[in-house]
Chains A and B, each alone.
Chain A
Amino acid sequence: MRDTAHQTRENRTITVDFQNTATHFQLLNDSKAFVDFAMAFILSLGFQLKHKATCRGGGCVTRHSHYVRVRLGSFTIWRIPCTTCKAVFTVLPHFVLRYRQMRPEMARNALVATRGGLSLEWSAEICHIPPMALYRLVCTFGHQGLVTMLTRCGLPLPVYFLADEKHSHCLTDKVYLPTIVSSRVIWHLGYSEEASAAAFTQSYQVFQCAPLDQEPTYQIKGVLTDGFDSTTKSLRTLFPGARLGTCLRHALLKLPKKLVAIASPVRKALRTQFHTLLHRARQRKGLRVFALGQRLRRFAEHVTHTAGEANGHRVRQRFQAKQAGWYAVLAIP
């Protein structure tokens, strides 16, 4: 009986910059020069080849086989194996995309357009390619993990980061995108069909597990969230030792919603006072948490006096619910 189990091959493609097509075609006639060129390029990057786990090193790569890509005008692609572990690496020149007929120049234009804000349809239209081809191209790049890619660039794993979930739509369904950002870099962008803590835990777990291969002792010190319950719970589960802070801008944005049945100028004035309060708390060099706690109490009293007992009660309740997160933010310099 035929074995129907499908064995997935590990992707061991390496893209090599041959500067121009002429150099590549010239090197195809000389096996040794081709392998030397590819290895020199890899060394210049500072990367290592992904051998099999059992490989102890000491071997070298050699020419193994080649195959012809008919759709690219009978273009020859070489494969080089490690003589020790027999892992086979496919050498793709820079002017070919893996499993794609599309040329990189065309892909570049379409990706710039799509990154710049054009829809996939328009980006594909101006480059004379099908929109679905562009979608699949982006998916191809997405098969490589973000953490792997970023650590290859020498970026240290983030000790503090921002975590938030945004919602989008999949046809008529509401979906959520748990996101982790550190400064200008996205470290995780997940996809979840539910807003529950369990679903977010599952998504953020991808980020939690990814760095363990590279740095088993990796510890996160602090996470900033907007205070959404499911996010907070999931992060507390995954990173029990980390401080969970709450975004101060969200604190500012939410305050006017707690102040109801008062005149707009009064609401605006209270928001401005709260903004000043947070700003001054941040400016303090020492005892920031103590200063904030005292000022929050006084501000709640001020709201009660200015906007009535009901508003003051709501504001006080919100402060009690969120102040731990604000303290965490201000406690860390």
Chain B
Amino acid sequence: MSVTSTLLDQAYNAIDRKLFAMKGFHHPRGSQAAFLTGLAHLYNLIPYQHRALHAGKCGVEVEGGRVPTSDWMLNLQILTSGGFH
């Protein structure tokens, strides 16, 4: 069990910058939940490091998951397709 919430803060910082920059898009009947989930998908699937230990890997791969292809955009398309089980 983690003893500090540093990793959560890192995740939130990445998303918070985006939300701060897009305040004009909010409106009471918007798709906030879908947009946030979409941002979370991007956070999980886009490779985030160019150097160091996990170079070129996305969060899912770093945690031991398998992604369908080496192309993150294609992975995003495949994994968010509704026809797979």
Distance A329 CA – B4 CA, assembled complex (angstroms): 9
Question: Which residue on chain A has the smallest CB distance to residue B6?
Answer: A249
- Residue in B35, B77, B80, B83 whose CB lies within 8 Å of A49: B83
In the complex, number of A-B residue pairs with CB atoms less than 8 Å apart: 233
Interface residues of A in 152-207 (CB under 8 A from B): 152-155, 160, 162-164, 166, 168-171, 175, 177, 179, 181-186, 189-191
Question: Which residue on chain B has the smallest CB distance to residue A116?
Answer: B46
Chain A interface size band reads 35 or more
Question: Which residue on chain B has the smallest CB distance to residue A112?
Answer: B46
Question: Which residue on chain B has the smallest CB distance to residue A50?
Answer: B85
Question: Are A179 and B77 also in contact (CB < 8 A) when A185-B60, A245-B1, A247-B5 are?
Answer: no
Question: Which residue on chain B has the smallest CB distance to residue A156?
Answer: B64
Contact B38 A142 (CB under 8 A): yes
Contact A111 B73 (CB under 8 A): yes
Distance A221 CA – B1 CA, assembled complex (angstroms): 9
Contact B85 A224 (CB under 8 A): no
Interface residues of B in 1-50 (CB under 8 A from A): 1-9, 11-12, 14-23, 25-28, 30-44, 46
Distance A92 CA – B34 CA, assembled complex (angstroms): 22
A100-136 to B contact mask, C-beta < 8 Å, 1/0: 0000100110011011011111000000000110010
Question: Which residue on chain B has the smallest CB distance to residue A141?
Answer: B38
Question: Which residue on chain B has the smallest CB distance to residue A203?
Answer: B33
Distance A97 CA – B84 CA, assembled complex (angstroms): 16
Give the residues in chain A near B25, CB-CB below 8 Å: 120, 131-132, 135
Give the residues in chain B near A150, CB-CB below 8 Å: 44, 60, 65
Contact A144 B41 (CB under 8 A): yes
Give the residues in chain B near A137, CB-CB below 8 Å: 38
A63 part of interface (Cβ distance < 8 Å): no
Distance A135 CA – B77 CA, assembled complex (angstroms): 16
B74 part of interface (Cβ distance < 8 Å): yes
- Residue in B3, B28, B30 whose CB lies within 8 Å of A329: B3
Give the residues in chain A near B5, CB-CB below 8 Å: 162, 164, 224-226, 247, 249-250
Distance A276 CA – B17 CA, assembled complex (angstroms): 33
Contact B23 A50 (CB under 8 A): no
- Could you jot down 15 A-B contacts, CB within 8 Å? A13-B81, A108-B73, A111-B46, A117-B18, A140-B34, A142-B31, A144-B41, A144-B80, A163-B8, A184-B7, A186-B40, A224-B1, A248-B3, A249-B4, A329-B3
Instruction: Give the interface of B toward A (CB within 8 A).
Output: 1-9, 11-12, 14-23, 25-28, 30-44, 46, 59-60, 62-69, 73-74, 76-85
